[in-house]
Amino acid sequence: MNPIVEVKSLYHTYPSGIEAISGIDITINAQEFVAIIGQNGSGKTTFAKHLNGLLKPTAGKVFIKGMDTAKKRVSELARHVGYVFQNPDHQICCDTVETEVAFGPRNLHLEKEDIERRVQGALQAVDLLEYRTVNPKQLSKGQRQRVAFASILAMEPSVLIIDEPTTGQDYRDGIAMLDLVKRLNQEGHTVLFITHDMQLVAKYAKRVVVFQD
């Protein structure tokens, strides 16, 4: 057992006063493939945002590879935890596919060759190499989701969080995406995927975590 995500007595109350998470304890080990399910508004996305530090606990602790997320910046955590948003348009900002995917690695101040290697690898993984110079705005929503996914992969994080993999895609795209995620899992990535689709849960997840209220 090699715990990569450790959550201890996690609480989160939004400034509006809504208590979205009330006491979660969970440990996820390296290379697990976990599905997170639960009704709308049960706190799945709020939970996921704690793993990459976008949100900090109101109370309790979140550790990623032993690092306390409250003491780390989002940019540091992004090397370890990649989060594909529910809506890809919340994370796409550049005007070509390749600059979008290179954006994160550039911020790591890597060598040019290393950036290029990562962009190539990530675009190849999501089958978008031929769209390198296209503006993401001209792509379909499913393709934009793959661009968003490639930009996360380019950071080479060990934990991947996919929030609603089927959003904006037909079932076949969802399957293709999860086949890719499955391969990445077999290569050593730890995967958390948040979904309402029980067929995908049955087909891919090794462990299921249910959120309530």
Ligand X SMILES: Nc1ncnc2c1ncn2[C@@H]1O[C@H](COP(=O)(O)OP(=O)(O)OP(=O)(O)O)[C@@H](O)[C@H]1O
Q: Which residues here bind ligand X, judged by CB under 6 A?
A: 14, 16, 18, 20, 38, 40-46, 211
Residue 3 binds which entry of Mg ion, ligand X, none, with Cβ cut-offs from 5 to 8 Å by kind? none
As measured in angstroms, the least distance from the Cβ of 166 to ligand X is: 12
Task: Give how many residues touch Mg ion by CB under 5 A.
Answer: 2
* Nearer Cβ to Mg ion (45/69): 45
* Nearer Cβ to ligand X (48/191): 48
Residue 43 binds which entry of Mg ion, ligand X, none, with Cβ cut-offs from 5 to 8 Å by kind? ligand X
As measured in angstroms, the least distance from the Cβ of 176 to ligand X is: 22
Contact positions with Mg ion (CB under 5 A) in 36-65: 44-45
Residue 20 binds which entry of ligand X, Mg ion, none, with Cβ cut-offs from 5 to 8 Å by kind? ligand X
d(CA 45, CA 141): 20
* Nearer Cβ to ligand X (45/143): 45
Assess 195 for contact with Mg ion (CB under 5 A).
no
* Nearer Cβ to ligand X (47/103): 47
d(CA 100, CA 150): 9
Residue closest to Mg ion (Cβ): 45
- What letter does residue 208 receive in the DSSP assignment? E
Find, among 60, 104, 78, 84, the residue nearest to 191 by Cα: 84
Cβ–Cβ < 8 Å for 166, 200: yes
Cβ–Cβ < 8 Å for 105, 115: yes
Residue 46 binds which entry of ligand X, Mg ion, none, with Cβ cut-offs from 5 to 8 Å by kind? ligand X
DSSP 101-138: HHHHHHHTT--HHHHHHHHHHHHHHTT-GGGTTS-GGG
Q: Which segments of the chain are extended strands (E)?
A: 3-13, 19-29, 33-38, 59-64, 67-68, 81-84, 159-163, 190-194, 207-211
Three-state secondary-structure class, residue 56: coil
As measured in angstroms, the least distance from the Cβ of 171 to ligand X is: 18
Residues within the interface to Mg ion (CB under 5 A): 44-45
